[in-house]
């Protein structure tokens, strides 16, 4: 029974995602710097697990003698990171209520740019989940090859767990994710420390026992180096996370967010450069069979416990990285929905105050990607990171424009513009310079990504983004149109009442029909009963019963040669409307309400059909008069379960004896 299922649902939810939170509880759902680092940085930090390797993979095409180039490349990426960080700190302070690429672009570059950034980011958030989960699973599988044939199932299960954790709300999830993130940081730095120490003391060996598939297909060119650089840039995916999530921080939000951002970048830079140096020192080789990070760990720690610990930590952080998207995607979706570019439902906070629709939507789309690409990282990677760098570029271009506005201000002047405040800043020139440099650098990286990865799958993203933008504008137009049609304008209209024509749709005469007639009489308006005659025998039987049982009220028969219920009904209603154009047509239909979905499915549920088919007819109103089957049993159950009184829902006493029901 519906209640029943509703109650069960609630119980399950309670167990899974915790008891509902009152709207008033909202402010308490913000988090401090330390857990925030875990929630927002795991994506960025986890990328060191593959960034260095990706550089080497490209360089390997020209030969391992060029691996030395990985160090200058890593350093230049670090420089780019510094630029990004400074730039994003500026954004954070400029947009203390949350300054994702979408908002910055919307304020300074207009809707199109904003939606481009939005779609680019959303695409990448979905990919982050798919990629991180897949590579996490890949690690598990390489440890337990037996699991390889349930790879996809594991990935989907992980996504589901992550969904539930996030439906519990960001606070819970931060505690749930802090441990593994800091566990990874600990082990990673221990590895770096040990490695550098053993290097200094000269007893750091080199990698042994890795089978390398050498294929020298390229000669060393600027293009190849740039390509290696762009591949390495995957290390920077996720650094924007914090600037999107400022609103989740404890007060002072901007200050805490900026501090967390700096800390994250420092950690990321140290790890990335450190790992690249060590990789070069131990002569790690990109290989099909063993990841570079694992080669380093094995060389530094030996194949003992610490090696296993490092592998476990890496696997975990990769899986956790997906969580960043679970924090950001719903927030971004809600932003765009609030502006009417995505379904409004995305702005509703669920029973736990999180954007449930966004979380579920992300999980669904990521799962779809995992299934389509068979949880293969190598298949997903080419689609990845293009979006992020596109959004970097747009967001910083936006800041450039913003500094231009600031330059127009007089000393000490302040201007409010859409939520953010333009404050006079005499240093605007060099701040703008930073953003120009950043925008240019990321723009180049974006182009390199698009070019070098186009054929491997980047083309799909370059098609998808415009498609999404088109859909966003379509949605917006729709909401605009609806708003116009619903608006009452300036004139003050008092509702008037129009004539009414009441029709009872009758299929058979049984207790449910009595309930229907009974209700019709209670309404107190004149009515006609209507029957769609599909089967002559049943019609005859109906007429007989009608006269016996009901004994009053006109019964109109509608012929239906093609056995359709709705078509004759539509025609009849059109006819009534012609006779009396400004009347409401009020259709009453009985509905048998079953205790369970399955039992409901055993019946014809004509109502749903009618609802769907008549919904488009102007001034036609449908009332469904339910008659509950199995209510008695339900009562017995409830009485024992909840101790509610029978009085609560009075029972018809009309039904007893036996007589088979031919309709429905």
Contact 180, 323 (CB under 8 A): no
CB of 247 to a second copy, least distance (A): 18
Question: Does residue 416 touch a second copy according to CB under 8 A?
Answer: no
What's phi and psi for 247, nearest 5 deg? -60, -15
Closer to a second copy at the Cβ: 356 or 393? 356
CB of 188 to a second copy, least distance (A): 41
Token look-up 């917006």 returns 476
Question: Does residue 511 touch a second copy according to CB under 8 A?
Answer: yes
Q: Using CB under 8 A, which residues numbered 21 to 60 contact a second copy?
A: 21-24
CB of 148 to a second copy, least distance (A): 17
Q: Using CB under 8 A, which residues numbered 644 to 663 contact a second copy?
A: 647-652, 654-661
How buried is residue 163: exposed, middle or buried, by Cβ count under 10 Å (0-12/13-18/19+)? buried
Closer to a second copy at the Cβ: 107 or 339? 339
CA gap 601, 599 in Å, rounded: 5
Q: Using CB under 8 A, which residues numbered 178 to 207 contact a second copy?
A: none
Contact pick of 1, 241, 277, 370 for a second copy (by CB under 8 A): 1
CB of 55 to a second copy, least distance (A): 34
CB of 297 to a second copy, least distance (A): 38
What's phi and psi for 303, nearest 5 deg? -80, 25
CB of 500 to a second copy, least distance (A): 5
Inter-CA distances, 336 with 122, 123, 647, Å: 11, 14, 48
Contact 347, 208 (CB under 8 A): no
Closer to a second copy at the Cβ: 343 or 457? 343
Question: Does residue 230 touch a second copy according to CB under 8 A?
Answer: no
Q: For residue 102, give the nearest of 85, 86, 122 by alpha carbon.
A: 122
CB of 566 to a second copy, least distance (A): 8
Closer to a second copy at the Cβ: 417 or 518? 518
Contact pick of 152, 164, 500, 543 for a second copy (by CB under 8 A): 500
CA gap 320, 42 in Å, rounded: 6
Burial 561-597 (b: 16+ CB within 10 A, else e): eeeebeebbbebbeeebeeeeeeebbbbbbbbbbbee
* DSSP-assigned letter for residue 497: -
CA gap 422, 394 in Å, rounded: 19
Closer to a second copy at the Cβ: 413 or 652? 652
From the list 248-256, 319-327, 384-392, 519-527, the region that binds a second copy by CB under 8 A is 519-527
Residue 417 three-state SS: strand
Closer to a second copy at the Cβ: 408 or 619? 619
**Measured between alpha carbons, how far apart are the two ends of the chain, in Å?**
19
CB of 658 to a second copy, least distance (A): 5
Closer to a second copy at the Cβ: 255 or 603? 603
Closer to a second copy at the Cβ: 145 or 499? 499
Closer to a second copy at the Cβ: 302 or 626? 626
Closer to a second copy at the Cβ: 28 or 615? 615
Both tokens assigned to 340 = 């009417």
Closer to a second copy at the Cβ: 29 or 218? 29
Give me the residues paired with residue 172 across strands: none
Residue 662 three-state SS: coil
CB of 180 to a second copy, least distance (A): 32
Closer to a second copy at the Cβ: 444 or 533? 533
Residue 435 three-state SS: helix
Contact pick of 8, 303, 374, 518 for a second copy (by CB under 8 A): 518
Closer to a second copy at the Cβ: 407 or 662? 662
Contact pick of 15, 28, 426, 494 for a second copy (by CB under 8 A): 494
CB of 644 to a second copy, least distance (A): 9
Q: Using CB under 8 A, which residues numbered 429 to 488 contact a second copy?
A: 475, 478-479, 481-488
Looking at the chain, how many residues does it have?
Answer: 664
CB of 615 to a second copy, least distance (A): 5
CA gap 626, 512 in Å, rounded: 8
Question: Does residue 344 touch a second copy according to CB under 8 A?
Answer: yes
Binding mask 347-386 for a second copy (x = CB under 8 A): -xxxx-----------------------------------
110: CB partners within 8 A, 6+ apart? none
CA gap 53, 630 in Å, rounded: 65
Question: Does residue 543 touch a second copy according to CB under 8 A?
Answer: no
Q: Using CB under 8 A, which residues numbered 571 to 590 contact a second copy?
A: 574, 577-578, 581-582, 584, 586
Contact pick of 180, 398, 512, 568 for a second copy (by CB under 8 A): 512
Inter-CA distances, 60 with 71, 208, 577, Å: 14, 18, 78
What's phi and psi for 424, nearest 5 deg? -55, 140
CB of 544 to a second copy, least distance (A): 13
Residue spans of alpha helices (H) in 339-427:
356-372, 377-380, 386-407
CA gap 305, 313 in Å, rounded: 12
Residue 135 three-state SS: helix
Question: Does residue 537 touch a second copy according to CB under 8 A?
Answer: no
Both tokens assigned to 147 = 């699991």
Using omega within 30 degrees of 0 as the cis cutoff, is the peptide bond preceding 26 cis? no
Q: Using CB under 8 A, which residues numbered 550 to 569 contact a second copy?
A: 550-551, 561-564, 566
Closer to a second copy at the Cβ: 308 or 651? 651
Closer to a second copy at the Cβ: 214 or 484? 484
Q: For residue 133, give the nearest of 296, 305, 324 by alpha carbon.
A: 324
Sign of CA dihedral 142, 147, 151, 153: negative
CB of 553 to a second copy, least distance (A): 9
Both tokens assigned to 293 = 């990070």
CA gap 312, 183 in Å, rounded: 10
Pairing mode, strands 500-505 and 584-593:
parallel
From the list 129-137, 157-165, 301-309, 509-517, the region that binds a second copy by CB under 8 A is 509-517
How buried is residue 33: exposed, middle or buried, by Cβ count under 10 Å (0-12/13-18/19+)? middle
Binding mask 304-343 for a second copy (x = CB under 8 A): ---------------------------------------x
Closer to a second copy at the Cβ: 334 or 422? 334
99: CB partners within 8 A, 6+ apart? 91, 92, 243, 244, 246, 420
Question: Does residue 345 touch a second copy according to CB under 8 A?
Answer: yes
CB of 547 to a second copy, least distance (A): 11
Binding mask 602-641 for a second copy (x = CB under 8 A): xxx------xxxxxxxxxxxxxxxxxxxxx--x-------
Contact pick of 202, 412, 499, 643 for a second copy (by CB under 8 A): 499
Closer to a second copy at the Cβ: 255 or 476? 476
């Amino acid at each position: 029974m519906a209640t029943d299922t509703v109650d069960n649902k609630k119980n399950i939810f309670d167990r899974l995602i915790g008891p509902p939170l009152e709207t008033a509880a909202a402010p308490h759902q913000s988090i401090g710097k330390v857990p925030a680092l875990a929630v927002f940085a795991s994506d960025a930090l986890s990328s060191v697990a593959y960034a260095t390797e990706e550089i080497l993979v490209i360089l390997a095409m020209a030969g391992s003698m060029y691996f030395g180039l990985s160090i200058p490349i890593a350093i230049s990426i670090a420089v780019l990171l510094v630029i990004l960080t400074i730039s994003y700190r500026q954004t954070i302070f400029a947009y203390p209520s949350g300054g994702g690429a979408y908002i910055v672009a919307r304020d300074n570059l207009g809707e199109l740019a904003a939606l481009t950034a939005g779609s680019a980011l959303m695409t990448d958030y979905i990919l982050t989940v798919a990629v991180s989960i897949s590579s996490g699973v890949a690690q598990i599988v390489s440890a337990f090859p037996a699991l390889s044939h349930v790879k996809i199932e594991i990935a989907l299960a992980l996504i589901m767990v992550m969904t539930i954790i996030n439906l519990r709300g960001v606070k819970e999830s931060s505690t749930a994710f802090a441990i593994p993130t800091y566990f990874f940081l600990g082990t990673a730095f221990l590895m770096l420390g040990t490695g550098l120490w053993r290097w200094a003391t000269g007893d750091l060996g080199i990698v042994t026992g890795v089978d390398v598939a050498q294929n020298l297909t390229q000669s060393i060119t600027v293009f190849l180096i740039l390509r290696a650089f762009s591949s390495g840039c995957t290390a920077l995916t996720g650094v924007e996370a914090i600037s999107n999530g400022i609103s989740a921080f404890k007060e002072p939000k901007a200050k805490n967010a900026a501090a967390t951002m700096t800390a994250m970048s420092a950690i990321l830079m140290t790890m990335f450069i450190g790992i690249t140096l060590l990789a070069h020192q131990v002569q790690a080789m990109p290989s099909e069979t063993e990841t570079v990070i694992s080669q380093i760990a094995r060389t530094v720690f030996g194949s003992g416990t610490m090696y296993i610990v490092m592998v476990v930590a890496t696997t975990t952080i990769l899986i956790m990285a997906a969580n960043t998207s679970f924090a950001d995607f719903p927030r971004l979706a809600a932003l765009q929905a609030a502006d009417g570019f995505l379904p409004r439902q995305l702005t509703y906070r669920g029973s736990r105050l999180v954007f449930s629709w966004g979380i579920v939507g992300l999980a669904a789309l990521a799962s779809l990607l995992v299934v389509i690409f068979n949880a293969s990282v190598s298949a997903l990677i080419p689609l990845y990171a293009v979006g992020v760098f596109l959004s970097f570029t747009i967001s910083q271009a936006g800041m450039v424009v913003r500094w231009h506005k600031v330059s127009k201000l007089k000393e000490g002047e302040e201007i409010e513009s859409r939520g953010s405040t333009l404050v006079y800043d005499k240093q605007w020139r060099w701040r703008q310079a930073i953003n120009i440099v950043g925008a240019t650098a990321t723009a180049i990286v974006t182009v390199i990504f698009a070019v070098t990865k186009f054929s491997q799958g980047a083309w799909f993203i370059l098609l998808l983004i415009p498609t999404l933008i088109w859909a966003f504008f379509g949605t917006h137009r729709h909401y605009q149109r609806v708003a116009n049609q619903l608006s009452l304008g300036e004139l003050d209209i008092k509702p008037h009442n129009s004539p009414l024509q009441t029709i009872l749709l009758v299929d058979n005469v049984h207790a449910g029909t009595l309930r229907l007639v009974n209700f019709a009489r209670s309404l107190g308006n004149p009515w006609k009963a209507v029957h769609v005659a599909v089967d002559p025998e049943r019609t005859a039987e109906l007429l007989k019963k009608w006269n016996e049982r009901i004994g009053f009220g006109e019964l109109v028969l509608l012929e239906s040669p093609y056995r359709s219920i709705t078509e004759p009904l539509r025609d009849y209603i059109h006819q009534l409307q012609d006779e009396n154009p400004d009347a409401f047509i009020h259709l009453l239909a009985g509905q048998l309400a079953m205790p369970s979905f399955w039992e409901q499915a055993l019946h014809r549920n004509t109502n749903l059909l009618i609802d769907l088919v008549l919904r488009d007819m102007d001034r036609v109103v449908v009332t469904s008069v339910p008659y509950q089957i199995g209510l008695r049993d339900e009562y017995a159950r409830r009485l024992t379960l909840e101790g509610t009184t029978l009085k609560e829902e009075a029972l018809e006493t009309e039904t007893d004896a036996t007589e088979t029901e031919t309709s429905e």
